[in-house]
Amino acid sequence: MSETQKYLTISALTSYLKRKFDADPYLEKVYITGEISNIGRRRGRHLYFSIKDPNGNALISAAMFSYASRLKFKPEEGMKVNAIGRIQIYEPSGTYAIILEQMTPDGIGELFLAYEQLKQKLAAEGLFDLPKKQITTFPKKIAVVTSPTGAVIEDITRTVQRRFPSAQVVLFPAVVQGEKAAATLIKQILRIDNSGQYDTLIVGRGGGSIEDLWAFNDEKLARVIAATHVPIISSVGHETDNTLADFVADRRAATPTAAAELSTPITLEQIVSRLNELQIRLNLRMKQIIDVRQQRLERVARHVIFQQPDRLYTGYNQRVDQLAHMLTQSIQQRLTTKNHEIKALVQRQLQIRKILLQAPSQKVKLLAAKLDLMSPLKILSRGYVLIEKDDQLVRTIKEVHIDDHVNLRLQDGTAEAKIIETSDLKNE
């Protein structure tokens, strides 16, 4: 072999090493522990970072694909982890890295760390500090979101029936454990809240491990519970168990029985007892009021006005008589004054009328005299006669003929005549 043939290209060397890495059974599944470094490199759904020794002497690149579905906690800078993966060489750059399949926090459980991280996140947003809604004192309908087969619904129904029988308990069955649990819980809670028919909502399940209760630590479920309008009582696990649903709910109950008691703040017996107490207090108060009013009535009845009632209106009668007399005098004075005013007004009107009619009267007399001079009757008084034929005045000789009958109007009467002869003065 020549000296030249001993040299390899970088690609050939890297390819050779990659085959060695891929064929080595010890590198197929490697368990490592260390601290997370350079956590900021995220590309879409994939996570790129480094894992280094705590003392900082060694470091290896790491990658986890679709990390959101693989991890329940949030990786943070400096966090110590235990990881499992395979060693792989990236040929284009000749670097090697560990491709992770699993990663858990070192020293504490993965779910517990995820719980604490989400709890801190929601607390920082103020989701736990929102005003809590008041539980209805006299509920009509109580909704319960839980498993239909567990003891939770039985305990709640029995307790509500004992404490407040008029309240109706309605079960909304849901899956309370596993991957589908959070989605079914959210669906039923929104269904109840949107209906607007329920006074209180109880959501929960019995006890279990953190894995069993994990659905109640779902971030979306926590936000839905915080945003509902109906008051929610959370009853998840035992008294020592705490889930995010407990922190965002309006009230937290350690057991289903306690949740039922919280949903019925006042029992029927307490209501009856309170009503009896109020009835007694009302009767005593009414008796006190009646006694006081009776004493006041007796004092009023002994008043001099009721003993001599005429005193009440004697002064008023005198005053009325006085005012009536004054009113009569005033009316008479006004009438007298008005009569004088009317007489003076009539007198003035007569004088004005006399003055106004004097000139026209003289004018009428003058015109009457002129008219009298022109009157036919005045002419008749001087010996003249008016001749009428067929009710028409005869003015010329041509209007009459011999043997015509005519009427003669004289000053003091009429006469009938016959024309015997006519003559025309113009022809003479």
What pLDDT, on a 0 to 100 scale, did the predictor assign at position 191?
A: 95
- Sequence length of the chain is 428
CB atoms within 10 A of CB 270: 13
Closest CA to 203 of 132, 273, 252, 149: 252
What pLDDT, on a 0 to 100 scale, did the predictor assign at position 184?
A: 95
User: What would the pLDDT profile of 212-253 be if each residue is shown by its tens digit?
Assistant: 888 899 999 999 999 999 999 999 877 767 889 999 999 999
Torsion of CA 348, 352, 354, 359, to 10 degrees: 170
CB atoms within 10 A of CB 48: 17
Give the mean model confidence (pLDDT) for residues 136-161: 92
Kindly report the pTM of this predicted structure.
Answer: 0.50
The Cα 322–Cα 205 span in angstroms is 93
User: What would the pLDDT profile of 330-376 be if each residue is shown by its tens digit?
Assistant: 899 988 888 888 888 888 878 887 777 777 777 777 777 777 666 66
Higher pLDDT, 171 or 239: 171
What pLDDT, on a 0 to 100 scale, did the predictor assign at position 226?
A: 94
What pLDDT, on a 0 to 100 scale, did the predictor assign at position 251?
A: 94
Residue 68's contacts (CB-CB under 8 Å, 6 or more residues apart) are 45
What pLDDT, on a 0 to 100 scale, did the predictor assign at position 245?
A: 92
Backbone angles phi, psi at 49, to 5 degrees: -160, -170
Distances (CA, A) of 227 to 130, 196, 219, 244, 351: 10, 14, 13, 14, 101
Residue 70's contacts (CB-CB under 8 Å, 6 or more residues apart) are 64, 101, 102, 103
Distances (CA, A) of 231 to 131, 236, 344, 373: 11, 16, 94, 123
- Map residue 245 onto helix, strand or coil: helix
DSSP string, 279-336: HHHHHHHHHHHHHHHHHHHHHHHTSHHHHSTHHHHHHHHHHHHHHHHHHHHHHHHHHH
Q: Is the pLDDT of residue 100 over 70?
A: yes
Put residue 420 in one of left, alpha, beta given phi > 0 → left and psi -120 to 50 → alpha.
Answer: alpha
